Amino acid sequence: MDTVTVIRIVAGILALGVLAIGIVYLSFLAGVLGKCSPSSRTMQPGMVWLSLIPFFNLVWAFIVVTAIGDSLGNEFRLRNIPVDDPKPGKSIGIAVAVCGACCIIPFVNILAIPAKLILWIVYWVKIAGYSRQLESFPMPSATPYFPQGN
């Protein structure tokens, strides 16, 4: 095998690995939205999968992190879960999205790519913590409905 073939194989394996991690991440985000009651959601969980569309995802990332922050904030208020941020994870998510958009700018990408990677990991960990909080505080039960008898 020549060098070019080896480089292509390694690049292909690396691309598939990045895609696999991205799919796990999007599945996680969809799951977090799924833990929020429908009335709290500002985005349906399946909408996060639009992030797989190249270039569209640069704009969609801003919409997804905003929706997740708003939905989590709504859900925490609904469940009376104390939280220090009214839109949990939104600010760090916006920072990730900004770095992601900057990754396509020549020369700027040299700084944007490592910054995005670090911020993305921090965002994922932070949202995972909020997800665990949702699991530990059950949904408030609705007031039972007892129809009036004649």
pLDDT in tens, 23-69: 999 999 999 999 999 999 999 999 999 999 999 999 999 999 999 99
pLDDT over threshold 50, residue 140: yes
Instruction: Report yes or no on 149 lying in a domain.
Output: no
Instruction: Report yes or no on 150 lying in a domain.
Output: no
- Going by C-alpha positions, the residue among 92, 101, 120, 97 that lies closest to residue 24 is 120
pLDDT over threshold 50, residue 71: yes
The total domain count for the chain is 1
**By residue range, what is the domain housing residue 16?**
3-136
137 pLDDT band (50/70/90 cuts)?
A: confident
Instruction: Report yes or no on 48 lying in a domain.
Output: yes
Instruction: Report yes or no on 148 lying in a domain.
Output: no
Please give the pLDDT value at position 143: 47
Instruction: Report yes or no on 144 lying in a domain.
Output: no
Please give the pLDDT value at position 138: 77
Tokens of 46: 């399946």
- From residue 21, alpha-carbon distances to 104, 131, 148 in Å are 20, 19, 54
Instruction: Report yes or no on 52 lying in a domain.
Output: yes
pLDDT over threshold 60, residue 144: no
